[in-house]
């Protein structure tokens, strides 16, 4: 959520920056400023009314002590009307503040200056590429056919149990999945991230805190009876650890990693591009989350990018990094780098990680602050990244490591799997 003070002071710059997202934000920004002016006016009137009421109450007490009951009773009538007035003002103030908050929730984060203009993923900017794309022999199979051939993932059984997008991992497929989770967590821990386990359900306040609500409400599974949401990413519960928290500068940086299953609706998704593991309703992901001092957050973002690079180098998967354009940038992000691994059998790139800096956008919603050297409260910066999302990494391994007599296991994973080939 953008800060009101920033909107007041930098209206033109914010409106111009949001054009990178292909949004004409001026009408919404003007509505916010009008409501803010109304809210401040109501607050001033309420403060004056309460101050007058308190002053008169003290005066009434003095009059009674002085034996001037008649004068005191006249003033009591005035306090009665002031109480009614303050009640009406308070109700109007609450309604205005709620309306203002709801408008602020509709405004996405301001893109970083380095974000390229553009409308769709086709306009994203490739900034890095590494790894040789293997040459597969004729007859190479996509991962969903490999999964069936070697009986390691059963998509039809998942449909029977839950529906499309809920695969069942079997035998060496399940062990490879578990190996990837352990490997990712170990790599993150070795890089200084503190491993934690978090709930897989969150309340509404947590969804609003990190910006999934109200923006992505339709993509989240909601448990109506308990008013809880299945998490779309570990980012939500991990970052919400710091909701309503005031830190010290000495607390920075805060670094966490967590493995969770993730749950996302993907309505209207059909075709080869969403076959197999390409797009799921339930999938596993290991996440890294950082809370940083504002002056250090972009240095931290660069470090997160390098960290994910090192993991993909060890897996020996060909990958590229994209700087997302304004039209493809997530609602809460100021700058995002997407990692994509090349699926040789499908002859296409598959997104396997997003690494983002949200600057103060989430912190403002979360009321996540720190005391600066002068003892003044400031908003922290939050960042997160996939390290990594498993389904498409697994798809890349199955397809790129396939041979005529089986699927080789990346060398770095063999200590975790206990086997070097699926055959």
CATH number of 4-105: 1.10.287.40
Helices then strands, each counted (H, E), the chain: 13, 19
Peptide bond into 388 cis (omega under 30): yes
- Residue tagged 């959520």 (tokens): 1
pLDDT tens readout for residues 11-42: 999 999 999 999 999 999 999 999 999 999 99
Per the DSSP assignment, residues forming a β-bridge with 255 are: 290
pLDDT at 176: 98
| Average pLDDT along the chain | 94
Asked if pLDDT for residue 65 goes beyond 80, the answer is no
Rounded CA-CA distance 188/286 in Å is: 9
pLDDT tens readout for residues 75-109: 777 788 888 899 999 999 999 999 999 999 999 99
pTM of the predicted model as reported, rounded to 2 decimal places:
0.93
- Give the SS3 label for residue 117: coil
Tell me whether residue 384 is annotated as binding. Answer: yes
- Domain spanning 121-422: which superfamily? Bira Bifunctional Protein; Domain 2 (3.30.930.10)
Tell me whether residue 352 is annotated as binding. Answer: yes
Asked if pLDDT for residue 271 goes beyond 70, the answer is no
pLDDT tens readout for residues 299-339: 999 999 999 999 999 999 999 999 999 999 999 999 999 99
Catalytic residues: 264, 279, 351, 354, 392
Run of H or E including 341: strand 335-343
Residues with Cβ < 8 Å from 344, sequence gap 6 or more? 133, 134, 136, 140, 399, 400
pLDDT at 52: 86
Pairing of strands 381-389, 282-292: antiparallel
Tell me whether residue 369 is annotated as binding. Answer: no
Tell me whether residue 266 is annotated as binding. Answer: yes
- HSE of 129 in the Cβ direction (CA atoms, 13 Å)? 6
Tell me whether residue 264 is annotated as binding. Answer: yes
Taking the domains of the chain in order of start, what are their residue ranges?
A: 4-105, 121-422
């Amino acid at each position: 959520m953008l800060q009101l003070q920033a909107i007041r002071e930098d209206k033109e710059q914010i409106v111009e920056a949001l054009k990178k997202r292909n949004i004409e934000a001026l009408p919404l920004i003007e509505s916010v400023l009008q409501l803010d002016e109304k809210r401040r006016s109501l607050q001033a009137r309420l403060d004056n009314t309460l101050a007058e009421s308190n002053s008169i109450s003290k005066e009434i007490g003095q009059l009674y002590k002085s034996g001037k009951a008649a004068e005191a009773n006249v003033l009591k009538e005035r306090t009665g009307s002031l109480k009614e007035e303050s009640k009406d003002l308070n109700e109007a103030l609450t309604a205005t503040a709620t309306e203002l908050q709801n408008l602020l929730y509709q405004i996405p984060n301001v893109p970083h200056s380095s974000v390229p203009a553009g409308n769709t993923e086709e306009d994203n900017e490739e900034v890095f590429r590494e790894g040789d794309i293997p040459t597969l022999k004729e007859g190479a199979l996509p991962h969903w056919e490999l999964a069936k051939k070697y009986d390691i993932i059963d998509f039809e059984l998942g449909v029977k149990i839950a529906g499309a997008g809920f695969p069942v991992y079997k035998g060496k497929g399940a062990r490879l999945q578990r190996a990837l989770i352990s490997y990712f967590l170990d790599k993150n821990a070795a890089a200084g991230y503190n491993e934690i386990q978090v709930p897989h359900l969150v309340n509404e306040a947590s969804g609003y805190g990190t910006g999934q609500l109200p923006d992505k409400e339709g993509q989240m599974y909601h448990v109506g009876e308990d008013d809880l949401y299945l998490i779309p990413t570990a980012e939500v519960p991990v970052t919400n650890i710091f909701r309503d928290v005031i830190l010290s500068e000495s607390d920075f940086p805060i670094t966490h990693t967590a493995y969770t299953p993730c749950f996302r609706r993907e309505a209207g998704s059909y075709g080869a591009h969403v076959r197999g593991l390409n797009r799921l309703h339930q999938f596993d992901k290991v996440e890294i989350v950082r809370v940083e001092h504002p002056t250090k957050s972009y240095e931290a973002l660069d470090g997160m990018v390098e960290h994910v690079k090192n993991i993909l180098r060890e897996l020996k998967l060909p990958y590229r990094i994209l700087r997302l354009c304004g039209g493809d940038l997530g609602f809460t992000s100021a700058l995002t780098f997407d990692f994509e691994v090349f699926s040789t059998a499908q002859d296409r790139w598959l997104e396997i990680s997003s690494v983002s800096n949200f600057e103060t956008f989430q912190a403002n919603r979360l009321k996540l602050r720190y005391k600066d050297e002068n003892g003044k409260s400031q908003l922290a910066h939050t960042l997160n990244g996939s390290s990594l999302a498993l389904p498409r990494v697994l798809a890349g391994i199955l397809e790129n490591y396939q041979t005529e007599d089986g699927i080789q296991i990346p060398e770095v994973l063999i200590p975790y799997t206990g086997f070097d080939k699926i055959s």
